[in-house]
Amino acid sequence: MHAPKPSRVIIESDVSNSELAATLRANLPSARFEIVDRVQDSTRRDPNILEVVRFRGRLLKSCPGTQNYYCCGYRILHFGTQCTLDCTYCILQAYLNQPNLRLFGNTGEMLGELSTELEQNPNRLHRIGTGEFTDSLLLDPLTGLSKILVPFFAGTRNAVLELKTKTNFIGNLVGLDHNGRTITAWSLNSEQVRRSEEPKSATLEERLAAARRCADLGYYLAFHFDPLLEYPDWQTGYAEILNRLLDAVDPSRIVWISLGAFRFMPELKQIIRERHARSKIPYGEFIRGLDGKMRYFRDIRVELYSFMGEIIRKADPSLCLYLCMEGKDVWTEALGFSPDEQGGLAAMLDKAVEDKMKVGPGRG
């Protein structure tokens, strides 16, 4: 796949002399650059526009978990919003009233917040990701952000970075001194779902080849099967991608695999109907969960998770496998245990990092 090439870059004057603005100018020589006082919100989506603003809120955020389900205790480095991969199920379609690609030019402030957090909490492990409000690597060929973040984390004692993507844009990761502190992660789905619901993202072959290359470069890996969709003969599709994954990479490089059944805020249903008329995903039967999101009935979720869990555990019983936004009964029925037995989900993920990556506050 090819990286986006916006033809128009609108930059707020506050960040027009930033390092990010300079990198974008170098990487987009034929784009038109416009400097404005303040980028205005727009209701019209235009994939040719890239906005660069000074973000005035918290740049290091907590994962938007809810108290009713186990929370992974993740922190998110908020470097930008939106994504042009345009997956039919993407929650960003409903979340954000700014439809265009937007980056935050105050990268220095973001790193400052991160440094403060690490200094103030030296005795805990920090698991930090970037792919919550956009794809971690979609714009990396233009921004070079990974060339700043990966060495930053390499120099930390008790923090790991997870870069989560549906692209194969790993070019900037080659040759970086990552010091085993970065996890490169891919969202995966069955071939059928990839074609119908995420056609603009990298093919599964491209994603797995990129993962294998990253493992060869010494990066740790993670995979996220989210959203798992229930469709006719889903078992064949999901068994096939799991087998391809387990053939492509050595499971001992995988820090964790997550599973999350399709869930969405109610207002997304109408948006999917309007924007992705051919998609069938909003027409299943759903119930409203404790977090207000629509989700499959419990039995369907348990069936999806147990099916996936069985194949993964057969390949490597020690692999850290977790469920996104599920409660104790679903965990126990699908996987045979709940995170409570391991001190909670956050403690379980910390342990996976300590055991596999040998990173933690007690280590040098």
Nearest CA-CA partner of 56 in 113, 1, 5: 113
State yes or no: residue 87 binds ligand SF4 (CB under 6 A): yes
Comparison of 224 and 356: residue with beta carbon closer to ligand SF4: 224
Pairing of strands 126-129, 101-104: unpaired
Considering only 83, 202, 312, 346, the residue that binds ligand SF4 (CB under 6 A) is 83
Site for ligand SF4 in 126-155 (CB under 6 A): 134-135
Min dist CB 258 to ligand SF4, Å, is 14
Tokens found for residue 198 = 């995420």
Only one residue has tokens 């549906």, namely 166
* CA–CA distance, 343 with 28 (Å, rounded to integer): 48
State yes or no: residue 92 binds ligand SF4 (CB under 6 A): yes
Compute how many residues bind ligand SF4; rule: CB under 6 A. Answer: 11
Cβ–Cβ < 8 Å for 35, 13: yes
State yes or no: residue 166 binds ligand SF4 (CB under 6 A): yes
Min dist CB 198 to ligand SF4, Å, is 6
* CA–CA distance, 44 with 174 (Å, rounded to integer): 37
Considering only 19, 86, 113, 240, the residue that binds ligand SF4 (CB under 6 A) is 86
DSSP codes joined into one string, 230-245: --TTHHHHHHHHHHHH
Cβ–Cβ < 8 Å for 255, 220: yes
State yes or no: residue 117 binds ligand SF4 (CB under 6 A): no
Min dist CB 119 to ligand SF4, Å, is 31
Comparison of 1 and 246: residue with beta carbon closer to ligand SF4: 1
State yes or no: residue 335 binds ligand SF4 (CB under 6 A): no
Min dist CB 85 to ligand SF4, Å, is 4
Cβ–Cβ < 8 Å for 149, 77: yes
State yes or no: residue 163 binds ligand SF4 (CB under 6 A): no
State yes or no: residue 204 binds ligand SF4 (CB under 6 A): no
| Amino acid identity, position 15 | V
Cβ–Cβ < 8 Å for 114, 58: no
Rounded to 10 degrees, what is the CA torsion of 343, 348, 350, 356?
Answer: 140
Min dist CB 97 to ligand SF4, Å, is 16
State yes or no: residue 206 binds ligand SF4 (CB under 6 A): no
- Judged by the rule CB under 6 A, the positions of this chain that interact with ligand SF4 are 83, 85-87, 90, 92, 134-135, 166, 198, 201
